[in-house]
Amino acid sequence: MNRQRGLALSGLIAWGVVVSVVAIIAIRVLPEVIDYYKIKKVVKAVAAESSGRTVPEVRAAFSKYAEVEHIKTITPADLEIYKEDNQVVIAFAYTKRVHLVANASLLLDFRNSSSGRGYGQ
Protein backbone atom coordinates (compact mmCIF):
# COMPACT_ATOMS: atom_id res chain seq x y z
CA MET A 1 0.00 0.00 0.00
CA ASN A 2 2.93 2.33 0.53
CA ARG A 3 4.12 2.82 -3.08
CA GLN A 4 6.84 5.21 -4.06
CA ARG A 5 5.98 7.89 -6.58
CA GLY A 6 8.23 10.05 -8.67
CA LEU A 7 10.36 10.22 -11.74
CA ALA A 8 13.08 7.74 -12.58
CA LEU A 9 16.55 8.99 -13.43
CA SER A 10 16.27 7.66 -16.98
CA GLY A 11 13.01 9.55 -17.48
CA LEU A 12 14.57 12.72 -16.13
CA ILE A 13 17.53 12.38 -18.50
CA ALA A 14 15.23 11.72 -21.48
CA TRP A 15 13.14 14.81 -20.73
CA GLY A 16 16.31 16.83 -20.24
CA VAL A 17 17.55 15.82 -23.70
CA VAL A 18 14.21 16.68 -25.31
CA VAL A 19 14.04 20.08 -23.61
CA SER A 20 17.67 20.81 -24.54
CA VAL A 21 17.14 19.98 -28.22
CA VAL A 22 14.02 22.15 -28.40
CA ALA A 23 15.86 25.01 -26.65
CA ILE A 24 18.82 24.80 -29.05
CA ILE A 25 16.53 24.87 -32.09
CA ALA A 26 14.56 27.81 -30.65
CA ILE A 27 17.73 29.76 -29.89
CA ARG A 28 19.00 29.26 -33.46
CA VAL A 29 15.66 29.98 -35.20
CA LEU A 30 14.38 32.88 -33.11
CA PRO A 31 16.71 35.57 -34.57
CA GLU A 32 15.59 34.64 -38.10
CA VAL A 33 11.92 34.84 -37.13
CA ILE A 34 12.47 38.21 -35.46
CA ASP A 35 14.22 39.43 -38.62
CA TYR A 36 11.26 38.23 -40.73
CA TYR A 37 8.79 40.18 -38.59
CA LYS A 38 10.99 43.31 -38.85
CA ILE A 39 10.99 42.98 -42.65
CA LYS A 40 7.24 42.44 -42.67
CA LYS A 41 6.70 45.57 -40.55
CA VAL A 42 8.96 47.68 -42.79
CA VAL A 43 7.29 46.43 -45.98
CA LYS A 44 3.84 47.30 -44.63
CA ALA A 45 5.03 50.76 -43.54
CA VAL A 46 6.63 51.52 -46.89
CA ALA A 47 3.58 50.28 -48.81
CA ALA A 48 1.24 52.38 -46.67
CA GLU A 49 3.09 55.59 -47.50
CA SER A 50 3.91 54.76 -51.14
CA SER A 51 0.77 55.68 -53.04
CA GLY A 52 1.77 57.62 -56.15
CA ARG A 53 5.46 56.74 -55.87
CA THR A 54 7.53 55.10 -58.55
CA VAL A 55 9.22 51.73 -58.08
CA PRO A 56 12.71 53.26 -57.55
CA GLU A 57 11.26 55.62 -54.92
CA VAL A 58 9.63 52.69 -53.11
CA ARG A 59 12.92 50.78 -53.18
CA ALA A 60 14.76 53.84 -51.82
CA ALA A 61 12.20 54.19 -49.01
CA PHE A 62 12.63 50.51 -48.12
CA SER A 63 16.40 50.98 -48.11
CA LYS A 64 16.14 53.83 -45.60
CA TYR A 65 13.84 51.84 -43.31
CA ALA A 66 16.08 48.77 -43.62
CA GLU A 67 19.10 50.79 -42.63
CA VAL A 68 17.37 52.05 -39.50
CA GLU A 69 16.09 48.55 -38.57
CA HIS A 70 19.47 46.91 -39.41
CA ILE A 71 17.94 44.55 -41.98
CA LYS A 72 20.64 42.78 -43.95
CA THR A 73 18.67 39.69 -45.02
CA ILE A 74 17.07 41.17 -48.13
CA THR A 75 17.87 44.16 -50.29
CA PRO A 76 15.54 46.55 -52.11
CA ALA A 77 16.27 44.64 -55.32
CA ASP A 78 14.71 41.51 -53.76
CA LEU A 79 11.30 43.18 -53.47
CA GLU A 80 8.52 42.61 -55.97
CA ILE A 81 6.52 45.83 -56.29
CA TYR A 82 3.22 46.05 -58.15
CA LYS A 83 -0.19 47.70 -57.99
CA GLU A 84 -3.33 45.87 -56.99
CA ASP A 85 -6.70 47.62 -56.73
CA ASN A 86 -4.96 51.01 -56.99
CA GLN A 87 -2.74 50.19 -53.98
CA VAL A 88 1.01 49.61 -53.99
CA VAL A 89 1.79 46.04 -52.96
CA ILE A 90 5.28 45.02 -51.92
CA ALA A 91 6.03 41.30 -51.80
CA PHE A 92 9.13 39.48 -50.67
CA ALA A 93 10.33 35.90 -50.41
CA TYR A 94 13.61 34.47 -49.21
CA THR A 95 15.10 31.29 -47.85
CA LYS A 96 17.33 31.07 -44.81
CA ARG A 97 19.46 28.08 -43.83
CA VAL A 98 20.11 27.74 -40.09
CA HIS A 99 22.99 25.49 -39.06
CA LEU A 100 22.06 23.23 -36.14
CA VAL A 101 24.82 20.69 -35.47
CA ALA A 102 27.46 18.93 -37.59
CA ASN A 103 25.93 18.53 -41.06
CA ALA A 104 22.33 19.14 -39.98
CA SER A 105 20.65 22.36 -41.05
CA LEU A 106 17.13 23.74 -40.95
CA LEU A 107 15.78 25.43 -44.07
CA LEU A 108 13.31 28.26 -43.42
CA ASP A 109 11.21 29.65 -46.26
CA PHE A 110 9.83 33.14 -45.58
CA ARG A 111 7.36 34.95 -47.83
CA ASN A 112 4.79 37.70 -47.37
CA SER A 113 3.39 40.84 -48.94
CA SER A 114 2.01 44.13 -47.76
CA SER A 115 -1.48 43.07 -48.87
CA GLY A 116 -1.47 40.39 -46.16
CA ARG A 117 -2.33 37.59 -48.57
CA GLY A 118 1.17 36.25 -48.84
CA TYR A 119 3.59 36.19 -51.72
CA GLY A 120 2.28 34.97 -55.04
CA GLN A 121 -1.29 34.29 -53.91
Q: DSSP characters for 53-97?
A: --HHHHHHHHHHHHHHHT--SS-GGG-EEEEETTEEEEEEEEEEE
On whether residue 119 sits in a domain, the answer given is no
User: How many domains, the chain?
Assistant: 1
Question: Within a domain: residue 60?
Answer: yes
What local confidence, expressed as pLDDT, does residue 3 receive? 78
Give a yes or no: residue 118 inside a domain.
no
Kindly state whether residue 15 falls inside one of the protein's structural domains. yes
pLDDT tens series, the chain, 121 aa: 677 777 889 999 999 999 999 999 999 999 999 999 999 999 999 999 988 888 999 999 999 999 999 999 999 999 999 988 888 899 999 999 999 888 999 999 999 999 876 655 4
CA distance 107 to 96: 6
pLDDT in the model for residue 87: 87
Residue 29 lies in a domain: yes
Over the stretch 22-41, which tens digit does the pLDDT of each residue have? 999 999 999 999 999 999 99
The whole-number pLDDT of residue 72 equals 92
Cα dihedral across residues 70, 64, 39, 73: positive or negative: negative
Burial of 121 (0-12, 13-18, 19+ CB in 10 A): exposed
In a domain, 121, yes or no: no
Phi then psi dihedrals of residue 114, to 5 deg: -75, -15
Question: Which domain covers residue 87, as residue numbers?
Answer: 9-113
Q: What is the reported pTM?
A: 0.82
Instruction: Kindly state whether residue 98 falls inside one of the protein's structural domains.
Output: yes
Asked if 62 and 43 touch (Cβ cutoff 8 Å), the reply is yes
The predicted pLDDT at position 52 comes to 83
Sign of the dihedral through C-alpha 43, 49, 52, 56? negative
Residue 2 lies in a domain: no
